[in-house]
Chains A and B, each alone.
Chain A
Amino acid sequence: MSTAQTRFVYVTYIRTTPERLWAALTQPEFTKRYWFGVTMKSDWKAGAGWEMMYDDGRVMDAGSIVEADAPRRLVIKWRNEWKPEFKAEGYSRCTMELEPTGDSVKLSVIHEMDVANSAFINEGVSNGWPKILSNLKSLLETGSVLMAEKI
């Protein structure tokens, strides 16, 4: 998917270890806290199914694990399931890379799609990731999130 037509990239540095950050990105007890109640279901191996659910059980996004190299790299084939215009765009691809640097980890999230001017990427993902990852950084560095609910 090097030909992706729409791409959102977000980089943040978090004072933690790659192992702890990997756990925070994949384990429901962490994601619930900083991702506004969302949980994920997967066994996090290449080829495995992947689902993201609201706290009421509705499936928000679904797909599969394309690559998993814990705690360094995760690639998810990802489709939104709740908004018809997002779902109609098909599958996106989300690559997460964790790279230790000094006392921190550089986390890069690249979320892209082979659709020109993708609404899912430009409206959905681009607004969501900065809130989610700011909340995650606060949780790992201070023990509490900034925003318990999406504003």
Chain B
Amino acid sequence: MSQAQSRFVYVSYIRATPERLWAALTQPEFTKQYWSGVSPISTWEKGADWQLVLESGRVADTGSILESDPPRRLVIQWLCHMREDFTAEGYSRCTIELEPMGDAVELTIAHENDHPNSPFIYEGVGTGWPAIISSLKSLLETGEVLTMQ
């Protein structure tokens, strides 16, 4: 998918260790706090299934783990089920990289698919990740998530 046609990249620096940030990205007790009640369900091993489940129990996204190298790199094959037009675009690929820098971690999220001008990438993911990662950074640095409307 190096020829991805739509791509959203978001970089954030977070005061945490890679291990703590990896846990915050993969464990439901963390994600529920900063990600509007969402829980990811997976064993996080290469080839394993992966799901994002809303607080209501509805499955929002499904896919599988393409690569997993804790606490450095995670690649998820990701299909959204929340909007028909998003589902019709097919699988996207989300690459999450954690690189230690001083007392912080550089977190890079690259979310892409092969659909030109993808509404899922630019409207869905492109507006979702900044809010999710901002709240995650606040949780890890201050102990409290953000309250957004």
Contact = CB atoms under 8 A, between A and B. Distances in A.
B115 interface: no
B13 A147 contact: yes
A102 B147 contact: yes
B141 A141 contact: yes
B102 A15 contact: no
B4 interface: no
A13 interface: yes
B43 interface: no
Interface string B122-136: 000001001100110
Contacts of A141: 138, 141-142
B21 interface: no
Interface stretch (A19-27, A36-44, A88-96, A129-137): A129-137
B13 A146 contact: yes
Contacts of B146: 13, 15, 102-104
Interface residues of A, number: 22
Nearest to B9: A126
A101 interface: yes
The winner among B102, B103, B134, B144 for most chain A CB atoms within 10 A is: B134
A76 interface: no
> What size tier do the contact residues of chain B reach?
20 to 34
B101 interface: yes
A102 B148 CA distance: 4
A131 B135 contact: no
Contact of A130 (B13, B15, B102): B13
B135 A102 contact: no
Contacts of A135: 13
A14 B148 CA distance: 10
Contacts of B54: none
A3 interface: no
Interface in A116-151: 130-131, 134-135, 137-138, 141-142, 146-147, 151
Interface string B49-72: 000000000000000000000000
Nearest to A142: B141
Given A12-B130, A146-B104, A151-B102, A134 B147 contact: no
Given A130-B11, A135-B13, A151-B102, A102 B149 contact: yes
B12 interface: yes
Interface of B: 10-15, 101-104, 127, 130-131, 134-135, 137-138, 141-142, 144, 146-149
